[in-house]
């Protein structure tokens, strides 16, 4: 049996389908490699930015740092993969805004070194209906990615 060239196999696949496949691969990688899991059930800070004295990012960062310490999540020393799943009982949050807010909070909490590609794998924030609001965050070390500094 001969193998067809990859280009020929993918010639009828749209960019959207390829992106969906990439996202599915990243999610599966997260499920397999997840070293740290944080579950935050409602009530929790808002999942949208605000302009108050203590911003939503800072409130989330404090909550995440406390939870991480409680369950043994270590501070980031290199690149990490991240998977975020938002479970909602009523109105779903905006996944893009909530994902960015939570990524910033993970950086502020020391659980990510940064949001740039050298510190964090691209991630998709998933929405899932459920009986109660919750945020699930999975983090895993990327092999061979420890940076100094």
Residues in Cβ contact with 31 at an 8 Å cutoff, skipping those fewer than 6 apart: 83, 138
Q: What CA–CA distance (Å, rounded) separates 21 from 115?
A: 22
Those residues of the chain that have pLDDT short of 70 are 1-4, 23, 26-34, 52-53, 122, 144-149
Is the residue at 127 inside a domain? yes
Percent of the chain surpassing pLDDT 70: 84
> How many domains are there within the chain?
1
CATH number at residue 64: 3.30.1330
∠ CA 29-49-131, nearest 5°, is 60
Tell me if 68 is assigned to some domain.
yes
CA gap 90, 132 in Å, rounded: 8
Determine the pLDDT at residue 108. 96
* Domain span holding position 122: 38-73+82-142
Is 20 within the bounds of a domain? no
Rounded to the nearest integer, the mean pLDDT of the chain is: 84
Residue 60 lies in a domain: yes
């Amino acid at each position: 049996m001969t193998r067809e060239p990859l280009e020929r196999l993918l010639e009828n696949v749209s960019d959207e389908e390829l992106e969906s496949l990439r996202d599915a691969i990243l999610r599966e990688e997260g499920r397999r490699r997840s070293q740290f899991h944080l579950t935050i059930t409602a009530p929790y800070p808002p999942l949208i930015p605000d302009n108050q004295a203590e911003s939503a990012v800072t409130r989330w960062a404090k909550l995440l740092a406390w939870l991480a310490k409680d369950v043994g999540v270590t501070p980031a020393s290199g690149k990490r993969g991240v998977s975020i799943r938002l479970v909602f009982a009523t109105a779903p949050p905006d996944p893009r805004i909530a994902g960015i807010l939570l990524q910033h909070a993970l950086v502020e909490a020391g659980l990510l070194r940064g949001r740039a590609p050298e510190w964090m794998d691209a991630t998709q924030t998933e929405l899932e209906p459920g009986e109660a609001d919750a945020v699930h965050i999975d983090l895993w070390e990327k092999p061979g990615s420890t940076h100094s500094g």
